[in-house]
Structure 1
Amino acid sequence: MSGHHHHETAGGDRRIGWAIFVNVLLTFAQIVGGVFSGSLSLIADALHNFSDAASLVIAYGARRIARRPADTSMTFGYVRAEIVAALINYTTLIIVGLYLLYEAVMRFIQPEPIEGWTVVFVAGIALAIDVVTAMLTYAMSKSSMNIRAAFLHNVADALGSVGVIIAGTLILLYEWTWIDPAITLMIAGYILWQAFSEIGSSIRVLMLGTPEDVDVDRVVEDLRSVEGVADVHHVHVWALDEGHNALEAHLVVDSSSLLEMSRLKSRARSLLQERHGIGHSTMEIETPGHSCDDEAKVIGHEVGSTPSAAG
């Protein structure tokens, strides 16, 4: 099983490595094409494509860091490196989308000429590279927030290339100068919609938010239904990473038998795993006469309390 996982991981790294290589190659090709055609827009697109390569480098680096084992300075391990990378890439994607909106508005005000068929031709090559990159990363993007962020960078670039080809061809043939900023607006809208839809998930994990597929009220209800549990409080549920949820809770129990407490915790853990997908749980056992305050607390502030102003 571990050998199969290692093979999958190595295969994924190779695909990302090839995606980085073809994107860097494309960047240099666009710069050369821009210099020979005198097209500043091609050179600008080369820099945009370089941002795609950079997003893949960030994603690749995060994958490698995330595999490092836990140590005394990072006792939870490094798995969240991929979540941090996703947040960085979604943030830069939003910046790209906002920049495209600005460019589109400015081109409505002051249209710029397309610099010949060279631009359209190189955009076609860029689209081909974007398709190759998408094929290399698509499968992994389904299960990894980190790779999905880099994949969306690539999709945004592919849409940009399609826009250049369509707009450039129509402008050169029919002089429809309005089509370029119109397509750019649509692409920018799609990029921003995708980025804002996805960025919340990475923020939620980093802010220790309850996983979207976990109902805390139902978790508490199910724990209270476990034989021997009198009450449950101080419940916190969070995601260690995309695939692993964790829980901390205080269980008030009727029994004082250590053996029965151990069996009770085992039953509770099985229930959490089977019904709620929570594989890592830390449960403190209390007896009715020695339980702590029933009010759930959040680090720093009690629920319902208002921090007093200093001074």
Structure 2
Amino acid sequence: MLGTNLRGCTKAPLNLSGKGVSESHHHQIGNYHRAFAIGIALNIIFVVVEAGYGMFSGSLALIADAGHNLSDVLSLLLAWGAILLAKKASTEKRTYGYRKVTIMASLTSAILLFIALGGITWEAMSRFFNPKPVEGIVVILVAAIGVVINTLTAFLFFSGQKSDLNLRSAFLHMAADAGISLGVTIAGLVIMIKGWLWIDPAISLIIVAVILVGTWRLLQDSIDHAIDAVPEGIDMAGIKQYLTGLENVSHLHDLHVWPLSTTEVALTVHLVVNDDSASNHFLRELQDHLHDRFGVEHSTIQVETAGTENHCLLDREKCI
């Protein structure tokens, strides 16, 4: 567990170990290793069954859904592998360890999904002009199995999807797949009753549209994390108001907040105080408040006295 460093730049630096990556967070992630294993196993079995029946029945909707489920298996593997790799200890070269791989995994997952969606869209459009017969009963039975499997897999990640981008990605993909499989079931019924072959590629395009919404959001969040943008849910205005409202603090500068991983947030800031009375107790309370109220696990705070502050060297005109 990495310590949180709070440095006070008075006569000597004040170094305090902090919460860093909380033990409760590690315990929470640990609970999902079994969920990943179960979800991956179930979906691999279903991909094989669905793709086989899709080719047998000539259903593009089933083949498209199987392709997407395969990409979900890859996404689950990426997310799981990234979480495992992120637990490795930091080194002198990688001082933050491998935390960023969780962000790289979610970004890769989004890109793979966009590639798959492009292929499905192309094939669906060609089927509108060259429709092929579909075995409706086979589509219904296989897709119904998909509803059960995808709903079960989504449920495995439900409780963790609010606190981890990778878990949220897994949950959204599985929940969307459950709805999509339900749509495929409806397509099979329509083909059996009405004989409308065009409904198969139409359902495929609906699949693409549904997945695209979640994938676009995942891509946006992943890019934001990759470029160290302020994570969603972090109240920057509230942090500024809290810090500038502290007793004896005249102003602040060089405030930066960024994601260390898909679950951890870091902060650095220079606080300018009226005198050099800042104590370890003051910094400890500040650290705890930033963690408990604003969700910042890793804080580095530089305390300076008025008239001696060190200004930003990155870009003086754009420093906060």
Considering the TM-score relative to the shorter chain, is it more than 0.5? yes
Q: State the 1:279 CA deviation.
A: 3.7
Q: State the 1:146 CA deviation.
A: 0.7
Aligned match of 1:248 in 251, 255, 268?
268
CA distance in 2, matches of 1:132, 1:216: 37
Aligned match of 2:212 in 183, 189, 192?
192
Which is higher, the Rg of structure 1 or of structure 2? Answer: 1
Deviations 1:68-109 (A, max 9, x none): 222223211223322222222222233333444434433333
2:19 matched residue in structure 1? none
1:309 matched residue in structure 2? none
- What SS does the corresponding residue of 1:232 show, helix, strand or coil? strand
Aligned match of 2:185 in 165, 173, 196?
165
Task: Provide closer, same or farther for how the CA distance between residues 302 and 283 of structure 1 changes in structure 2, counting only shifts above 3 A.
Answer: same
Contact 1:94 1:191 in 2 (8 A): no
Task: Provide closer, same or farther for how the CA distance between residues 252 and 52 of structure 1 changes in structure 2, counting only shifts above 3 A.
Answer: closer
2:46 matched residue in structure 1? 26
- What SS does the corresponding residue of 2:267 show, helix, strand or coil? strand
Contact 1:228 1:264 in 2 (8 A): no
2:199 matched residue in structure 1? 179
CA distance in 2, matches of 1:127, 1:63: 27
Is 1:303 the counterpart of 2:303 in the alignment?
no
Is 1:70 the counterpart of 2:90 in the alignment?
yes
Deviations 1:217-263 (A, max 9, x none): 44333322222223211111222234433221112222245xx4545
Identity of aligned residues (%): 35
Contact 1:59 1:82 in 2 (8 A): yes
Deviations 1:166-223 (A, max 9, x none): 2122123212233233333333222111222233222222211123333434433332
- What SS does the corresponding residue of 1:241 show, helix, strand or coil? coil
Contact 1:66 1:81 in 2 (8 A): yes
Is 1:202 the counterpart of 2:216 in the alignment?
no
Count of residues in correspondence between the two structures: 297
CA distance in 2, matches of 1:201, 1:242: 10
Is 1:52 the counterpart of 2:72 in the alignment?
yes
2:37 matched residue in structure 1? 17
1:283 matched residue in structure 2? 301
Task: Provide closer, same or farther for how the CA distance between residues 5 and 280 of structure 1 changes in structure 2, counting only shifts above 3 A.
Answer: closer
1:228 matched residue in structure 2? 248
CA distance in 2, matches of 1:268, 1:10: 29
- What SS does the corresponding residue of 1:113 show, helix, strand or coil? coil
CA distance in 2, matches of 1:264, 1:213: 26
Structure 1 or 2: more helix by fraction: 1
Task: Provide closer, same or farther for how the CA distance between residues 3 and 207 of structure 1 changes in structure 2, counting only shifts above 3 A.
Answer: closer
1:144 matched residue in structure 2? 164
Matches within 5 A, 1:113-152: 113-115=133-135, 117-152=137-172
CA distance in 1, matches of 2:237, 2:24: 38
TM-score (norm 1): 0.80
Unmatched segments (≥5 aa) in structure 1 = 306-311
Contact 1:39 1:119 in 2 (8 A): no
2:15 matched residue in structure 1? none
Contact 1:70 1:76 in 2 (8 A): yes
1:107 matched residue in structure 2? 127
- What SS does the corresponding residue of 1:303 show, helix, strand or coil? helix
CA distance in 2, matches of 1:40, 1:100: 12
TM-score (norm 2): 0.78
CA distance in 1, matches of 2:63, 2:205: 21
Contact 1:65 1:78 in 2 (8 A): yes
- What SS does the corresponding residue of 1:78 show, helix, strand or coil? coil
RMSD between superposed Cα atoms in Å: 3.2
CA distance in 1, matches of 2:139, 2:146: 10
Task: Provide closer, same or farther for how the CA distance between residues 267 and 131 of structure 1 changes in structure 2, counting only shifts above 3 A.
Answer: closer
CA distance in 2, matches of 1:136, 1:230: 49
CA distance in 2, matches of 1:247, 1:11: 28
Task: Provide closer, same or farther for how the CA distance between residues 229 and 182 of structure 1 changes in structure 2, counting only shifts above 3 A.
Answer: same
- What SS does the corresponding residue of 2:32 show, helix, strand or coil? helix
CA distance in 1, matches of 2:23, 2:259: 26
CA distance in 2, matches of 1:274, 1:153: 30
Give the ranges of 4+ consecutive aligned residues of structure 1 lying more than 6 Å apart after TM superposition: 2-7
1:96 matched residue in structure 2? 116
